[in-house]
Chain A
Amino acid sequence: MKCRKCGEKASVNMRQHKLALCREHYLEWVPEQTERFIKKYGMFRRDEKILVAVSGGKDSLALWDILHRLGYQVDGLYLGLGIDGGIGYSHESQRLAEKFANEHNLKLHIIDIEQEYGQPIPVLSEISHRGHGKPCAVCGLAKRHEMNRIARDLGYAVLATGHNLDDEAAVLFGNTLSWSSEYLLRQGPVLPGSDGLARKVKPLCRFYEREMTAYCLLRGIEYIYEECPFAEGSQSIYYKELLNQLETTRPGAKLTFYLRFLEARKRGDLFIEQNLEQAHLHPCPNCGQPTSAPDLCSFCRMIEKAKSVTVS
């Protein structure tokens, strides 16, 4: 297979675009496309400070690399979750995030959940009895809370995450199976900011997961290859596998699924627009972040519970 731009041997073939590219042209194409998506969805401007949530995985490191190459003002945020799983998962992912930051002379903020709140994620999960025996729900809650807190406290205009199209399609697939209208209406490349909530953006939302893997391999970015020990058997992975089977026989199925959803949502074809209204958010009395819960936000309630169990 030949590169469409130069005729040399291609390294990456994107069947959904009918486009094959060599290493050199692929590494040019990815940032060009990212810039196009940033502008198309109005994610951020060049004068805005961006905080990238960095996990040490391929997507977040690729995003940081791409935004840096494009010349944006972009710092990283690493959250130490305290997950070991017999492979030193958090330790290794932090090492790789720090390595990337040092090699590119970029600023990385590191927040350790155990230092901040007294317990690592797996223990918080056990204490709070959330998530049916797996810490993924507590992990997601803590990440959302802490990312927003740091972005707000340190004055970043926008929080960028490395969600790729497979992530988005898997979430969309899950929410469609259950017709979760509230979640469906919120999903998109940009979640606008409001009082106390940083704007959230997903600049990689139109790249396939394998394209980000290819980017890291071709750029020589070292990322954590091992899966989070708690992700094994997760619903999101199962949905991704199903969608990849579909993609194999119908190239472009994942992209079409996601893009047609965005178009339908924009046109208001999905549900009645009034469902979009956020359900009476008010500031949490403890941390000040917006919440729809009647008193403390979910995160602060979890921490309060963890403290009470630890003390008693």
Chain B
Amino acid sequence: MVKLILRDREYEVKPGMNLLSALQKCNIVPESVIATRAGEMILDDEILKDGDVVKLVAVISGGALI
């Protein structure tokens, strides 16, 4: 399986699909995250392999916009 981690949440998807499909399967908006695997940034077309751990970095920040 492939594990995706976003903040304190974990998701699992089957290997063999690309990153974009995996994000969509987990209902994660692709525009809202950057994906890294083993410390390297990966893109939407990257095929995920069994045992991969993908860390997702949330990109949205907010609050008082001055």
Contacts and interface: CB of A to CB of B under 8 A. Distances in A.
Interface of A: 1, 10-13, 20, 23, 57-59, 136-137, 139-140, 143-144, 147, 161, 163, 166-167, 170-171, 208-210, 212-214, 217-218, 225, 227-228, 230-231, 234, 236-237, 240-241, 244-245, 247-248
A58 B61 contact: yes
Contacts of A208: 31
Given A11-B40, A140-B66, 15 more contacts: A58-B61, A59-B61, A170-B62, A210-B32, A213-B34, A217-B41, A218-B41, A225-B57, A227-B62, A228-B62, A231-B61, A236-B62, A237-B63, A241-B60, A247-B31
Nearest to A26: B41
16 contacts: A1-B45, A12-B43, A13-B44, A20-B43, A58-B61, A137-B64, A143-B64, A166-B60, A170-B62, A227-B61, A228-B61, A240-B60, A241-B29, A244-B29, A248-B29, A248-B30
Contacts, number: 91
Contacts of B29: 241, 244-245, 248
A139 B41 contact: no
A12 B45 CA distance: 12
Contacts of A23: 41
For chain B, what secondary structure do more than half of its interface residues adopt (helix, strand, loop), or is it mixed?
loop
A11 B43 CA distance: 7
B51 to A, nearest CB: 21
B64 A136 contact: yes
B31 to A, nearest CB: 4
Contacts of A12: 41, 43
A139 B31 contact: no
B21 interface: no
B65 A240 contact: no
Contact of A209 (B41, B60, B64): B60
B43 A230 contact: no
A209 B66 CA distance: 16
Given A244-B31, A244-B60, A161 B41 contact: no
Contacts of B62: 170, 227-228, 231, 234, 236-237, 240
Contact of B60 (A139, A147, A228, A237): A237
Contacts of A166: 60
Interface string B33-66: 1101000110111000000000001111111111
Nearest to A210: B59
Nearest to B46: A1
Nearest to A240: B60
